[in-house]
Structure 1
Amino acid sequence: MPIDPARALAAEPRTAEISWDHRDVQLYHLGLGAGIPATDPGELRYTLESGLHVLPAFVTVAGGGKGIAGGLSGPGLDIDLTAVLHGGQTVRLHRPVPPVGTAVSSTRVAAVYDKGKAAVLVLRTEASDAEGPLWTNDAQIFVRGEGGFGGERGPATRTELPGREPDKTVERYVREDQALLYRLSGDLNPLHADPEFAARAGFDRPILHGLCTYGMTLKAVVDTLLGGEPARVTSYTTRFTGVVFPGETLRIRLWAEDGRRVRAAVGAVERDDAPVLADTVVEHH
């Protein structure tokens, strides 16, 4: 079997030193659509190096975002990348991410679940600097055709949305060039830029990175319900349920709960609110 769960789980973590500076953070924010209007004080916190705030979702690309790619090529894993889907993402912050930093990043397979027709790998990346832990980043990766080995199914991740109208609903336009800009933060998969490659993958045109939608949604939460303060976020999780095409509009519905949590549901407006993110929760203080 291409996936050997016992070997994958027992493998030594892959470690690397990563670094970033304000330019990496600014480029990431611009890739999420920050900076419109360019002189808006609320946008300048993401685009101007003086007083720069860091959206916690930046950790998915810090150091070039190589944790997932490296994790999929470890011991016990012989995976056809065409069978791989990014199923979900969780980021837990141990303290606010600085706009300039150096850290040691460690990536390992934290879990292997058996979903019947697919296996799910949880690739866990932990980063620490001289002052201690910074973040823990879990990517849930579906590998089609690799289930049925008799393993645990894993925890349920589905959550119910509140039975009331959203507290806020915002729309965010995805620019035609947004995937081209976002990919410069590290994910150069041609699926997001090359029409011929996208066609071979079964799409009419290149699609937006799921992690770009992930970042755009967190920015909407921070700007709308957290007073524009990214440092208030302590964790952020989502499940990817559909694709987004550049040129579409995201409709982001938000529910505030208990002063500590925001639930979100995200759909593509032009396709009758076809869901693209579900089971999305931002924990904050």
Structure 2
Amino acid sequence: MSTLPTPGAPAGDWLGLTVGERTVAWTDRDPILFALAAGARPDDLDLVFEDRLRVLPGFALTLAQWAPDVLGSAGAWEVGTALHGAQSLTVLEPLPASGELTMSARVTGVWDKGAAAVYDLAVESDHFVATWSLFAPGRGGFGGERGPGRPAAPDGEPAWTASTATADNAALLYRLLGDRHHIHVDPAAAAGIGQPRPILHGLATLAAATLVAARETGAHPADLTQLEGRFASPVFPGEPLVVRGWADGALEVATERGPAITAGRTVFG
């Protein structure tokens, strides 16, 4: 790990720093659990049956979850205050059903939004590159660049629109893959962030939308090569979703309360 700034140092001091390296192992139970949390069906045998298992590329994000946790614990922001603003994933080669993978993480961008800072944290490996954009209240005002604005909305009408359900226990399943933040299971913790009940992980919502996009376009979900999304508002486990997709891969997800994921993209190879 690089020599990191002292906790509370200006957010801009973290730019370009290597956060660390980690080797993570998994068995075939883990990608099956991920597929179930994302909404895989009983007849999706190559997502849920070890004898013919293909790993959903979004599973990589559970293997890399250690990186934002390490960055926060190192003092980039006060633990428990940062929000997951956006996510991207570029697939370099498929993950095996079980194995071991070494990853490294570095801060590739720090943007000054005035009242907050946004950290771009890239996790790199031989199989994928994943970038978290993390919104940290109270860490702005350090004199840095403001960074890119909101992406433009997709052009024209969507090529397809589909509805899907999220399981009541989706957050309980997904948290077993590493993100055990209490807001996903404990009503008191959810109330502490102003939510009436526990919320679904943003990455679980994005994974569910990816399955829908594959079904609607005739692709296999394990053939995903590029994934993007910005988290606009929480989704509650059991809540129905409306997913809209465009011919160029643009994607949006909404609940009856409004947008949940914007500036999304799914590309299947």
Same fold (TM over 0.5): yes
CA distance, structure 2, for counterparts of residue 154 and residue 283 of structure 1:
25
Q: Corresponding residue for 1:221?
A: 213
State TM-score, norm by structure 2: 0.92
**Letter of the 1:265 counterpart:** E
Q: Corresponding residue for 1:48?
A: 49
Q: Corresponding residue for 1:143?
A: 136
Deviations 1:75-124 (A, max 9, x none): xx342234311000000111122222211111121111111121000111
After the TM superposition, which residues 1-285 of structure 1 pair with which residues of structure 2 at under 5 Å, given as runs? 2-35=8-41, 38=42, 40=43, 43-62=44-63, 65-74=65-74, 77-127=75-125, 133-164=126-157, 166-231=158-223, 233-257=224-248, 262-269=249-256, 271=257, 274-285=258-269
The runs of 4+ residues in structure 1 deviating greater than 4 Å are none
CA distance, structure 2, for counterparts of residue 55 and residue 157 of structure 1:
28
3-state SS of 1:57 partner: helix
CA distance, structure 1, for counterparts of residue 138 and residue 11 of structure 2:
15
Q: Which runs of 5+ in 1 are unaligned?
A: 128-132
CA distance, structure 2, for counterparts of residue 226 and residue 19 of structure 1:
32
**Letter of the 1:121 counterpart:** Y
**Letter of the 1:237 counterpart:** E
Contact 1:111 1:123 survives alignment (8 Å): yes
Deviations 1:16-64 (A, max 9, x none): 11112211100111111212xx2x2xx112101122111111111026x
With over 3 angstroms needed to count, the CA separation of the structure-2 counterparts of 1:239 and 1:255, relative to structure 1, is: same
CA distance, structure 2, for counterparts of residue 157 and residue 54 of structure 1:
31
CA distance, structure 1, for counterparts of residue 51 and residue 76 of structure 2:
45
Q: Which runs of 5+ in 2 are unaligned?
A: 1-6
Contact 1:3 1:79 survives alignment (8 Å): no
Contact 2:211 2:221 survives alignment (8 Å): no
CA distance, structure 2, for counterparts of residue 57 and residue 157 of structure 1:
23
With over 3 angstroms needed to count, the CA separation of the structure-2 counterparts of 1:115 and 1:70, relative to structure 1, is: same
CA distance, structure 2, for counterparts of residue 144 and residue 87 of structure 1:
12
Deviations 1:218-270 (A, max 9, x none): 11112221422522x2211110000111121010011122xxxx11111003x
CA distance, structure 2, for counterparts of residue 102 and residue 78 of structure 1:
28
State TM-score, norm by structure 1: 0.87
* Percent of residue pairs identical: 33
CA distance, structure 1, for counterparts of residue 55 and residue 12 of structure 2:
37
Contact 1:55 1:219 survives alignment (8 Å): no
**Letter of the 2:28 counterpart:** H
With over 3 angstroms needed to count, the CA separation of the structure-2 counterparts of 1:5 and 1:145, relative to structure 1, is: closer
CA distance, structure 1, for counterparts of residue 232 and residue 11 of structure 2:
26
**Letter of the 1:198 counterpart:** A
CA distance, structure 1, for counterparts of residue 73 and residue 14 of structure 2:
10
Give the superposed CA RMSD: 1.7
With over 3 angstroms needed to count, the CA separation of the structure-2 counterparts of 1:27 and 1:83, relative to structure 1, is: same
